């Protein structure tokens, strides 16, 4: 038997590759391919509107970006071990942000107390805040080119946050029960998506009856929905919101026959006149989202049509011009 010849994996100093953090590592990480690598490791969607050294009060964010759903992504980098100064800067950045925020703190080594702080923030902050602690290394095999290695040492735990959020909702026993059911459902769906290597990911706890995913165009999302109280049904929809939504809806509606032929079913086209929103939806009635035994079947149906919706609507949405729709709405 011939034994394989293997190389030896060695660790390099990060300063052998990047001169320093602000002028070397941060500009390198901000390149699209490198941000994509980081996002794949963290299970995040592609980032857009990437800015370096963006001002927040008297401080600057190393990298500030948006995810596909419009949430803010803050990336703070440092060489060496973590320190209280960078932790303080991160908390200052958070005070200057509104809406959903994901924080990614990258360092060569995390002190145990700082890793514990990240775990505590994930367990005790609101559902709109998500924290990652990531150690960066540079590896090579023999004389090969050096390669970056991101090691995630702390990350959000969707299930533990769901339990905490459910137990803290004291509005009423009925509301708490409803919220707990929804969070359990989306936690199960998150595991299903991960187990089936889906491009769709759920990265946070959610007590709403819907969960939205990127469609490929800002202002348009693909949502999975469940209804227990009023209806017994699940659904998948394309939801458009903001200025220009009526014109976008009308442009898609003009292709209705072709769209429904591609997806393979008849859809409900809800223009929602009087609101800055539209909905194109497919419901599956007679499904009880409160029955855990039915979840695998429901998850499979949802994922199947989410893939079809993104494939069918994604290219059409990207082909629509970004300008001109707001005026079209005003004239409607």
Instruction: Summarize pLDDT for 189-245 with one digit per residue, the tens.
Output: 999 999 998 889 887 777 788 898 888 787 889 999 998 877 889 999 999 887 788
Max CA distance (Å), the chain: 78
Helix (H, G, I), strand (E, B) or coil at 295: helix
Q: Which range among 86-95, 154-163, 168-177 shows the weakest confidence by mean pLDDT?
A: 168-177
Q: What angle is formed at CA 292 by the lines to CA 288 and CA 295, rounded to 5 degrees?
A: 70
Digit-coded pLDDT (tens) for 3-41: 888 888 888 888 988 988 988 999 999 998 898 889 888
Q: What is the DSSP letter of 57?
A: T
Q: Quote the pLDDT of residue 135.
A: 94
Contact predicate 137/11, CB 8 Å: yes
At residue 329 the predicted structure's pLDDT band, cuts being 50, 70 and 90, is very low
Structure tokens that stand for 141 in this block: 């095999």
Residue predicted with more confidence, 226 or 1: 226
Digit-coded pLDDT (tens) for 254-301: 999 999 999 999 999 999 888 888 999 999 999 999 899 999 999 999
Ordered by where they begin, the domains of the chain are 9-156 (3.40.1350.10), 209-331 (3.30.1460)
Q: Quote the pLDDT of residue 305.
A: 97
Query: Can you tell me the distance from the alpha carbon of 251 to that of 258, in angstroms, rounded to the nearest whole number?
Result: 12
Short-list 223, 219, 226, CA closest to 249: 219
Q: What angle is formed at CA 156 by the lines to CA 49 and CA 101, rounded to 5 degrees?
A: 30
Short-list 139, 130, 150, CA closest to 37: 150
Q: Quote the pLDDT of residue 323.
A: 57
Mean pLDDT of 307-311: 96
Query: Can you tell me the distance from the alpha carbon of 265 to that of 183, in angstroms, rounded to the nearest whole number?
Result: 29
Short-list 306, 269, 282, 279, CA closest to 220: 279
At residue 253 the predicted structure's pLDDT band, cuts being 50, 70 and 90, is very high
Mean pLDDT of the residues in the chain: 84
Q: What are phi and psi of 164, to 5 degrees?
A: -65, -45
Q: What is the DSSP letter of 286?
A: S
Query: Can you tell me the distance from the alpha carbon of 121 to that of 61, in angstroms, rounded to the nearest whole number?
Result: 19
Q: Quote the pLDDT of residue 53.
A: 76
Q: Is the pLDDT of residue 169 over 50?
A: no
């Amino acid at each position: 038997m011939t034994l394989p010849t293997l190389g030896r994996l060695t660790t390099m100093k990060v300063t052998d590759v990047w001169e320093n953090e602000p002028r070397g590592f941060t500009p390198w990480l901000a390149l699209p391919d490198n941000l994509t690598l980081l996002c794949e490791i963290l299970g995040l969607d592609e980032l857009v509107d990437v800015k370096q050294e963006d001002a927040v009060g008297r401080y600057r964010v190393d990298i500030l970006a948006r995810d596909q759903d419009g949430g803010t992504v803050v990336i703070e980098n440092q060489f060496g071990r973590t320190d209280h100064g960078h932790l303080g800067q991160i908390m200052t950045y958070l005070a200057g942000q509104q809406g959903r925020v994901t924080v990614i703190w990258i360092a060569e080594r995390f002190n145990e107390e700082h890793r514990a702080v990240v775990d505590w923030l994930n367990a005790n902050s609101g559902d709109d805040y998500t924290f990652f602690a990531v150690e960066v290394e540079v590896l090579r095999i023999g004389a090969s080119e050096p390669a970056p290695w991101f090691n995630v040492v702390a990350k959000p735990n969707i299930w533990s946050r769901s339990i905490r959020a459910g137990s803290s909702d004291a509005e009423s026993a009925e509301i708490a029960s409803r919220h707990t059911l929804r969070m359990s459902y989306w936690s199960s769906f998150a595991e299903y998506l991960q187990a089936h290597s889906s491009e769709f990911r759920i990265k946070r706890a959610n007590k709403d009856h819907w969960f939205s995913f990127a469609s490929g165009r800002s202002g348009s999302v693909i949502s999975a929905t469940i209804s227990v109280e009023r209806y017994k049904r699940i659904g998948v929809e394309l939801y458009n919101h903001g200025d220009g939504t009526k014109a976008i809806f009308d442009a898609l509606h003009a292709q209705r026959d072709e769209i429904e032929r591609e997806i393979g079913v008849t859809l409900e086209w809800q223009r929602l006149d009087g609101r800055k929103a539209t909905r194109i939806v497919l419901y599956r009635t007679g499904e009880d989202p409160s029955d855990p035994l039915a979840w695998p079947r429901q998850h499979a149906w949802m994922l199947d049509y989410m893939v079809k919706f993104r494939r069918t609507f994604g290219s059409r949405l990207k082909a629509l011009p970004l300008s001109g729709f707001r005026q079209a709405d005003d004239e409607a």
